[in-house]
Amino acid sequence: MLILISCLLLFVTALALMVLRVAQPIARYTWLVAAGGGILASLSVFLWLAQLPFEIALPAWRPASLFTTPILFRADEISWPFSISMAALTLAVLLTAAARPVFVNSFSWVGALALGGVGILAVTADNPLTLLLVWASLDLTELITQLRSVNGKSNNEKVVVSFSARAFGLGLLLWANVASAAGGSVLDFQSISAGSGLYLVAAAGLRLGVFPLHLPYSSESSLRRGLGTSLRLISAASSMVLLARTPTESLNSMASSLLTILALVAAIYGGWMWLRAPDELNGRPYWTISLVSLSVISALSGNPSGAIAWGCALILVGGSLFLSSVQLPWLNRATLAGVWSLSSLPFSLTAGAWLGRLGFFMPFVIVAQALTVAGFIRHALRPSGRDSLESQPGWARAVYPAGILLLVIVQILLGFIGWDGALQVGAWLQALLASLLTFGLVWATPRFRILNPIRAHWVTSTTSRWSGVSQGFWSLYRGLAKISQSISVTLEGEGGIMWTLLFVVLFISLLAQGSP
């Protein structure tokens, strides 16, 4: 029941905010309600440690011959790190909202709370059917949110194409479900067949923009901090959890090597663009591409627990950076704890990330990791472009840093407790080489023009141009749009009534032929 309690705390708080928005639109205690719900939900997820592992199954659907498995959720060493990271991010979004220019905006708080609850349901899903349902709800939420936040026909098309790629990911997960059933395996992630492993990796990679390389959402969106950060990081992490549940015995094939090469290309490209991004918000899509690619590589190397580490780093380290909107030197230095979390050094959050079989891919992995960490250092230490807390009330000046420090504390804590990847020495030699290369890049960035930040319009104009499959989505989307427009013009024109009568006559004639 603890899983449902944590999610219900978030959902009920979101519902309470909606009611207050309608009944008392100028209520001054709305933020207290939101923050209180976030605090209780985070504490409840932390209490899962006392009972791990445990699961909850909802009543089975009918007919039983068609739905052989119930809706099942499980809290274990895989789902708990993701869940506590999502709960901490949701609470951090609410705490840092105290310093936003527009503070009274309960609808964005409703969205952050609801996304946190749905994200926890996604990472605790214990079979493909449950994960499919949660993924579909997340995809529809992101589709509606993105369509409302972007402007222009071109940007709307990009959102639809991105949704199409996610739909194909859903299809691959469904196919993995079918393949597992055909092999006679129980349809849950504890005993899914080895033959389904590559389908799981491909489904996650397609949804995350790694196979093929593409940005999974439009970077022109007006969503910035707060709800935008929650939407993009939680949506990505809900797919990364699938990598952690991939059977390792299913990844010893030539296809795994090919997917690893594709993931390496995506990781290096994402790290390079992240390092050269003009600021952290414009570079956020490339941060996501880089981290999820490293997660895919870790899973393909036979180390699924490494995917958990990179997924938690995506949320916690990225969240501490993207939510930072105020210029506080000591707090900016505190966010540099993320360097330790990303370094893979002993006892860090990602210490167990590279315990798999990397082989001759190792030098490329070191380069990709170093580019990502160097980019994080550059963005965390940027000297200007942030607001000030001087004009904020005293309570806001205390609450805002607490939100950032919460994410820093959780990422350090996860390096020591709570899951199988914690308290690891890891591949310390590889981590040391990556750290040396990182500091070399940090030293070279201001001295070599090629490493200097690129102009902002470069970042926002490269979406999906790397992928031939994405171009196919564009053509399909525009073709369907033309067909739909032609049908609409035909039916709404002067002959529309005649066409309608013709369809009615044809329908009646078909029914008449089928009658005795």
**What is the tens place of the pLDDT at every residue in 131-163?**
888 888 888 877 777 777 666 666 666 777 677
Q: What are phi and psi of 57, to 5 degrees?
A: -115, 130
Structure confidence at residue 62 (pLDDT): 65
Query: Looking up tokens 């942030």, which residue turns up?
Result: 386
CB 423 within 8 A of CB 347: yes
Measured CA to CA, the distance from residue 263 to residue 253 in angstroms comes to 16
Distance of CA 147 to the CA centre of its chain: 18
Average pLDDT, the chain: 79
Phi-psi region of 211 (alpha: psi -120 to 50; beta: other; left: phi over 0): beta
510 — pLDDT class (breaks 50, 70, 90): low
pLDDT surpassing 80 at residue 9: yes
* Percent of the chain's residues with pLDDT above 70: 74
| Lowest-confidence segment of 75-79, 288-292, 428-432, 470-474 by average pLDDT | 470-474
| Lowest-confidence segment of 188-202, 213-227, 425-439 by average pLDDT | 213-227
Q: What is the mean pLDDT of residues 109-137?
A: 88
Max avg pLDDT among 32-41, 56-65, 473-482: 32-41
pLDDT surpassing 90 at residue 367: yes
User: Per the domain annotation, does 475 fall within a domain?
Assistant: no
CB 158 within 8 A of CB 209: no
Structural domain total, the chain: 1
Structure confidence at residue 311 (pLDDT): 92
User: Per the domain annotation, does 505 fall within a domain?
Assistant: no
User: Per the domain annotation, does 497 fall within a domain?
Assistant: no
Structure confidence at residue 465 (pLDDT): 44
- The more confidently predicted of residues 445 and 16 is 16
Measured CA to CA, the distance from residue 369 to residue 362 in angstroms comes to 11
pLDDT surpassing 50 at residue 345: yes
pLDDT surpassing 50 at residue 487: yes
User: Per the domain annotation, does 239 fall within a domain?
Assistant: yes
Q: How many CB atoms lie within 10 A of CB 249?
A: 10
Least Cα distance to 76 among 420, 423, 424 occurs for 420
CB 214 within 8 A of CB 266: no
pLDDT surpassing 50 at residue 129: yes
* Joined tokens for residue 426: 């890891």
- The more confidently predicted of residues 358 and 190 is 358
Q: What is the mean pLDDT of residues 32-59?
A: 89
User: Per the domain annotation, does 473 fall within a domain?
Assistant: no
Q: CA angle, 341 as apex, 335 and 345 as ends, to 5°?
A: 135
User: Per the domain annotation, does 499 fall within a domain?
Assistant: no
- Full-model pTM: 0.83
Q: Which residues contact 383 (CB under 8 A, 6 or more apart)?
A: none
pLDDT surpassing 80 at residue 514: no
Structure confidence at residue 493 (pLDDT): 54
Measured CA to CA, the distance from residue 97 to residue 224 in angstroms comes to 12
The H-assigned helical ranges of 188-328 are: 197-208, 227-244, 254-275, 284-300, 304-322
| Lowest-confidence segment of 12-26, 173-187, 195-209, 491-505 by average pLDDT | 491-505
Structure confidence at residue 457 (pLDDT): 40
Structure confidence at residue 461 (pLDDT): 39
| DSSP-assigned letters across all residues of 60-96 | PPS-TTT--S--EEEESTTHHHHHHHHHHHHHHHHHH
Q: What is the mean pLDDT of residues 215-233?
A: 68
CB 258 within 8 A of CB 202: no
Structure confidence at residue 138 (pLDDT): 83
Residues of the domain holding 418: 2-466
Structure confidence at residue 55 (pLDDT): 86
Least Cα distance to 203 among 233, 238, 242, 234 occurs for 242
How many residues belong to the chain? Answer: 516
Distance of CA 371 to the CA centre of its chain: 20
Element containing residue 287 per DSSP (H, E)? helix 284-300
- The more confidently predicted of residues 421 and 235 is 235
Q: How many CB atoms lie within 10 A of CB 344?
A: 32
210 — pLDDT class (breaks 50, 70, 90): confident
pLDDT surpassing 90 at residue 313: yes
* Joined tokens for residue 69: 């498995």
Residue 474 identity (one-letter amino acid): W
| Lowest-confidence segment of 84-88, 236-240, 254-258, 343-347 by average pLDDT | 254-258
- The more confidently predicted of residues 487 and 462 is 487
Max avg pLDDT among 188-197, 338-347, 377-386: 338-347
User: Per the domain annotation, does 498 fall within a domain?
Assistant: no
| Lowest-confidence segment of 26-40, 169-183, 232-246, 357-371 by average pLDDT | 169-183
Q: Residue 55: helix, strand or coil by DSSP?
A: strand
* Joined tokens for residue 335: 């966010």
CB 146 within 8 A of CB 451: no
**Is the torsion defined by CA of 455, 457, 462, 464 positive or negative?**
positive
Residue 392 identity (one-letter amino acid): Q
User: Per the domain annotation, does 405 fall within a domain?
Assistant: yes
